[in-house]
Amino acid sequence: MNGSALCRENFTMLTDFYEFTMANGYLTNKKADDIAYFDMFFRKIPDGGGFAIMAGLQQLIEYLENLSFSEEDIEFLASKNLFSQEFLEYLREFKFCCDVWAVPEGTPIFPHEPIVTVRGPIIQAQFIETIILLTINYQSLIATKANRMVRVAQGRDVIEFGCRRAHEYAAAIYGARAAYIGGCTGTSCTLADKKFGISALGTMAHSWIQLFNSELDAFKNYAREYPNSCILLVDTYNTLKSGIPNAIRAFNEELVPRGYRPLGIRIDSGDITYLSKKARKMLDSAGFPDCKIIASNSLDEYIIRDMIHQGACVDCFGVGERLITAASDPVFGGVYKLSAIEVDGRIVPRIKVSDNVTKITNPCFKKLWRLFDRDSKKAIADVMTLNDEVIDDTRPYMIFDPEHIWKRKTIDNFIARELQVPIFKAGKRVYDSPDIGSIREHCKTQIDTMWDEVLRFENPHKYYVDLSQPLWDEKQRLLSEYSG
Is 60 exceeded by the pLDDT of residue 247? yes
Using pLDDT thresholds of 50, 70 and 90, give the confidence band for residue 6: very low
Beta-ladder partners of 205: none
Mean pLDDT of 205-216: 97
Is 80 exceeded by the pLDDT of residue 194? yes
Neighbours of 444 (CB within 10 A): 15
For 306-344, write each residue's pLDDT tens digit. Answer: 999 999 999 999 999 999 999 999 999 999 999 999 999
Q: How far apart are CA 165 and CA 367, in angstroms?
A: 39
| Phi, psi angles (nearest 5°) of residue 285 | -65, -30
pLDDT in the model for residue 461: 95
Beta-ladder partners of 53: 108
Residues in the chain: 484
Which range among 69-78, 149-158, 267-276, 348-357 shows the weakest confidence by mean pLDDT?
348-357
The CATH architecture of the domain made up of 146-324 is: Alpha-Beta Barrel (3.20)
pLDDT in the model for residue 454: 97
pLDDT in the model for residue 9: 64
Domains of the chain, by residue range, sit at 6-142+330-483, 146-324
Mean pLDDT of 271-281: 98
Mean pLDDT of 419-444: 98
DSSP character for 427?
Answer: T
Mean pLDDT of 395-412: 87
Beta-ladder partners of 381: 371, 464
- Closest to 39 (Cα-Cα) out of 98, 97, 102, 96: 102
Neighbours of 479 (CB within 10 A): 14
For 92-107, write each residue's pLDDT tens digit. Answer: 999 999 999 999 999 9
Beta-ladder partners of 265: 232, 293
Percent of the chain predicted with pLDDT > 90 = 93
Class at the top of the CATH hierarchy for domain 6-142+330-483: alpha beta
pLDDT in the model for residue 7: 43
Neighbours of 229 (CB within 10 A): 13
Is 60 exceeded by the pLDDT of residue 119? yes
Q: How far apart are CA 124 and CA 203, in angstroms?
A: 47
Q: How far apart are CA 38 and CA 241, in angstroms?
A: 62
Helix axes 129-152, 436-447, angle to 10 degrees: 60
pLDDT in the model for residue 484: 65
| Phi, psi angles (nearest 5°) of residue 284 | -65, -45
**DSSP letter string, 247-292:** HHHHIIIIIGGGT----EEEE-SS-HHHHHHHHHHHHHHTT-TT-E
Q: How far apart are CA 166 and CA 160, in angstroms?
A: 11
H or E stretch including 379?
strand 379-386
DSSP character for 47?
Answer: G
Is 80 exceeded by the pLDDT of residue 4? no
Between 472 and 7, name the one with better pLDDT: 472
Q: Are 446 and 106 in contact (CB under 8 A)?
A: yes
Q: Are 180 and 323 in contact (CB under 8 A)?
A: no
- Mean pLDDT of all residues in the chain? 95
Q: How far apart are CA 437 and CA 440, in angstroms?
A: 5
Q: Are 440 and 432 in contact (CB under 8 A)?
A: no
H or E stretch including 371?
strand 366-373
pLDDT in the model for residue 1: 36
Mean pLDDT of 141-169: 96
For 23-81, write each residue's pLDDT tens digit. Answer: 999 999 999 999 999 999 999 999 999 999 999 999 999 999 999 999 999 999 999 99
Q: How far is CA 234 from CA 39, 241, 252, 477, in A?
A: 51, 10, 16, 67
Which strands form 316-319's sheet, in the order they lie side by side?
186-187, 157-160, 316-319, 292-295, 264-267, 231-233
Using pLDDT thresholds of 50, 70 and 90, give the confidence band for residue 91: very high
